[in-house]
């Protein structure tokens, strides 16, 4: 006999979007998500746009995260850079100071930090870069959460330094068997069909597994799910999730 759905545990999940990256679709996305990661000028964004999105996040009761990047607008922060230590530290700190200044002026609060693009991928596997990034953001450790990929180097080091972590998984991206993301150069990188995104998320949240691009199952822990704001079908995906996740005992929490 199957257990009644009324008695199944409801799982809460945060849905986040990377925003302020030039898509201009935030007015449509924000009613459907529970947190956002605002580009801080490293790969995209500017002060006026950051301020606009901070205000919009308050209207929709969305948690605000800073989304710092390698300082590389030309390549949208998607190429690994080897920068002198002080240049790297200065860039990340300046991006966060800009975000904090705007939040303070708008009576907002920084909920989390999530690095962008190549920086996110690099600190997941490179111990030296992970240590350097955590040094750059160390001033925020006591009051701010850090979004990290599950079973990553940065997760391991940040835990040892006392960070409060939020494990992130990607609803609209395929994974390799080592839990890295399939390269955007690969046609299989994105998952754009809403029901396929739903299946991907339900497996990760309810079964704590992810199916890799090769069809293998691997352990996965996710506290927050990212749907990229620049995925072509982002709005359709989020609209679909807003009605379908509850049918799988998953609740989006703000």
User: 70 and 87 in contact (C-beta within 8 Å)?
Assistant: no
The predicted pLDDT at position 254 comes to 82
Per the document, the length of the chain is: 254
Q: Of all helices (H) and strands (E), which one includes residue 238?
A: helix 234-244
Whole-angstrom distance, CA of residue 188 vs CA of residue 161: 36
> Distances from the Cα of 198 to the Cαs of 8, 23, 237, in angstroms?
19, 23, 8
The predicted pLDDT at position 7 comes to 54
The predicted pLDDT at position 32 comes to 98
* pLDDT average per 10 residues of sequence, the chain (254 residues): 54 97 96 98 97 98 98 96 98 98 98 97 98 98 97 98 98 97 94 98 97 97 96 97 97 91
Q: Of all helices (H) and strands (E), which one includes residue 38?
A: strand 35-39
């Amino acid at each position: 006999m199957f257990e009644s759905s009324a008695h199944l545990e409801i799982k809460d999940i945060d849905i986040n979007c990377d925003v302020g990256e030039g898509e201009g679709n935030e007015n449509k996305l924000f009613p459907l998500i529970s947190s956002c990661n605002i580009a801080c000028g490293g790969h995209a964004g500017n002060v006026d746009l950051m301020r606009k999105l901070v205000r919009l996040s308050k209207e929709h009761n969305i948690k605000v995260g800073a989304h710092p990047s390698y300082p590389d607008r030309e390549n949208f922060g998607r190429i690994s850079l080897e920068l002198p230590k002080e240049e790297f530290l200065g860039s990340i700190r300046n991006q966060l100071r800009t975000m904090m200044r705007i939040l303070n002026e708008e009576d907002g609060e920084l909920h989390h930090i999530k690095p962008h693009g190549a920086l996110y991928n690099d600190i997941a596997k490179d111990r030296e870069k992970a240590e350097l990034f955590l040094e750059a953001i160390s001033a925020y450790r006591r009051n701010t959460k850090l979004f990290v990929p599950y079973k990553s180097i940065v997760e391991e080091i940040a835990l040892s330094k006392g960070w409060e972590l939020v494990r992130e998984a990607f609803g609209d991206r395929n994974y390799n068997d080592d839990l890295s993301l399939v390269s955007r150069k690969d046609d299989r990188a994105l998952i754009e069909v809403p029901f396929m995104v739903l299946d991907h998320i339900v497996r990760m949240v309810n079964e704590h597994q992810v199916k890799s691009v090769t069809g293998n199952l691997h352990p996965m822990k996710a506290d927050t799910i990212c749907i990229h704001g620049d995925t072509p079908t982002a709005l359709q995906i989020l609209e679909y999730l807003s009605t379908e996740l509850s049918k799988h005992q998953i609740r989006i929490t703000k």
